[in-house]
Amino acid sequence: MRDTVIVGGGPAGLAAAYRLSRFPEQHVSLLERAPVTGGLAAGFSYGSYTLDFGPHRLHTAIDQEILTDLKDFLGDDLVLNRRQGLIRLSGKYIPFPVGPGSLLQLGLRNILKISLGLASARLPASESTNRSYESELQRRFGKPLYKMFYGPYAEKTWGLPGSQIASDQAEKRVNQRGPADLWRALLGSGTSAYYYYPKKGFGMIPGAYEKAIADDCNVQVHLHSSVEAIEWREHQILRVHCNINGESIGTDPANVVWTAPLPELINRLIPGPPAAVVQAVSSLRYRAIVLFYVVLDIPRVGQADTYYFPETRYPFNRIIEQKNFSPDMVPPDMTVLCMDIPCSAEGGVFSLSDAELLEMVMPGLEEAGLAGSEQVVEVFSRRFKYAYPIYDLSYESAIEKTMAWVKELANLWLVGRQGLFMHNNTHHSLYMGYRVADAIANDSRGSWDSELEQFAAFRVAD
């Protein structure tokens, strides 16, 4: 048997464990620090509600082999939903995905401003010099649309002005390459109008993978468990010191798959990496998130599954009405809104009490016509420190330096959103899990660089 230790039981770690379990000579120990698997894609039960960690949908861009597995696992529980989004701009709601009617909602003045901006947009990327998220998107769409939508959205999500964010973020996040793509989107041929969703919440997806490996004697999933130290010598990890549910256990695996945050790996290596790598990793920053849940004693707010709030005057980024993803998740006479509030993990919003959060969000909820304070019967929150990797202007050289060194450890495999410091979707992490398992089982480290290049080209869907 060949042993693999997988660190982290989110979609990437679970998918890697499942795929490795298909190969008879592979043995897997998956260590998950939390009391449950699923990572950011897990859900939770609260009283009679089943809830996700903010807006989660399975995008139709998913790899077909993985979709087939998920259909096998979930059967009729996996349904295809039509997207029902609304973007709030200038005090009005615009349907999302955008269509021919969307622009008209903005009013003549805004349409004129945006059109003039689009007409002045410069097309070839090579024309632009100082490339940041801001310069890249202003080049593609002109200043007015940037100022109205992309700029404030970036500042809220990543906590930096667009001029301080790397242009990679625009590459990853904004699929439209210029005015022609934007017009095509406005005519209704952009974002997919559909998504997959499990009837009892998004958490059924990681849950299905956990179930699929539950009875396999070659796979052990350890909750409340992590890695304390990793000893390496001459380009190989030799020994991993695990903490399995409070007990220290040493093991000598053939491979280690790391899906937990990258800085946590560097801190655990013995001997430590060169100072330049330690310094590079310590410059990587993550944006935290508060997910704030508001229970209303009304049957439903509206038909939309997600409301988008790019403007900085609202403290929240998006609000979902959970039962509009699946009616099976919240009783008919009540409804639950969940809003995601990106913030710094150091103090501020991240450490506000639920009562303080309610005070902060209520004016926005009322102004947007979503809830009145008299309808609120209960509030609660969930908080994540590692929600979004921040692509600031120095991140690329820090990642390059780190990856160049980490690559030298021939039996260490970095995958997932946290392990690769890569803004991504769940289907990307599942895909990475399958690919790393195939590479380990087939002993094909030589082709791993080209897999990493493919992962880097993933586009994030909202």
Interface with ligand FAD (CB under 6 A): 7-13, 31-34, 39-41, 54-57, 59, 226, 259-261, 264, 289, 340, 387, 416-418, 424-427, 429
Q: For the CB of residue 55, give the shortest distance to ligand FAD in the complex, in Å.
A: 5
The smaller minimum CB distance to ligand FAD, of residues 417 and 435, is found at 417
Q: Which is nearer to ligand FAD, 34 or 193 (CB)?
A: 34
Measured CA to CA, the distance from residue 289 to residue 206 in angstroms comes to 21
Shortest Å distance, C-beta 184 to ligand FAD: 23
User: Of 325, 384, 306, 324, whose CA–CA distance to 38 is shortest?
Assistant: 384
Query: Measuring CA to CA, which residue among 418, 65, 396 is closest to residue 257?
Result: 418
To ligand FAD, the closest distance from the beta carbon of 276 in angstroms equals 24
Count Cβ atoms within 10 A of the Cβ of residue 199 and give its class: 0-12 exposed, 13-18 middle, 19 or more buried.
Answer: middle
Q: Which residue's CB is nearer to ligand FAD, number 289 or number 357? A: 289
3-class SS of residue 360: helix
Structure tokens at 219: 């796979």
CB of 365 closer than 8 Å to CB of 371: yes
Closer to ligand FAD by Cβ: residue 401 or 428: 428
Q: Is the dihedral of CA 85, 204, 442, 250 positive or negative?
A: positive
User: Least distance to ligand FAD from the beta carbon of 125, Å?
Assistant: 27
By C-beta, is 11 or 179 nearer to ligand FAD?
Answer: 11
List helix spans (H) across 90-224.
Answer: 108-120, 133-141, 143-145, 151-158, 167-173, 179-184, 204-214
Q: Which of 228, 364, 254, 231 is nearest to 28 (CA)?
A: 254
Question: What's the min distance (Å) between Cβ of 365 and ligand FAD?
Answer: 18
Helix or strand or coil: residue 240?
Answer: strand
DSSP run (H or E) holding 66: helix 64-74
* Minimum gap (Å) between residue 204 Cβ and ligand FAD: 14
Q: Work out how close the CB of 5 gets to ligand FAD at its nearest, in angstroms, rounded to a whole number.
A: 10
* Nearer CB in complex with ligand FAD: 383/445: 383
3-class secondary-structure state, position 183: helix
d(CA 392, CA 132): 9
Give the residue with the Cβ less far from ligand FAD, 59 or 401. Answer: 59
